[in-house]
Amino acid sequence: MFATLRGPAAHTLPKGLDEQTLRTVLGSLTGDAGRSASEVARLAGISRVTARRYLEYLVAAERAVRTPRYGSPGRPEMEYRPA
Question: Which residue segments constitute the domains of the chain, with CATH numbers given?
Answer: 17-82 (1.10.10.10)
| CA distances for 3 relative to 7, 8, 21, angstroms | 6, 8, 27
pLDDT of residue 11: 66
69 - beta bridge partners?
77
The amino acid occupying position 72 is: S
Chain mean position to CA 83:
11
Q: Which of 50, 49, 5 is nearest to 24 (CA)?
A: 50
Q: Is the pLDDT of residue 50 over 80?
A: yes
pLDDT of residue 32: 74
Q: What three-state secondary structure class fits 82?
A: strand
Mean pLDDT of 67-76: 87
Q: Is the pLDDT of residue 9 over 60?
A: no
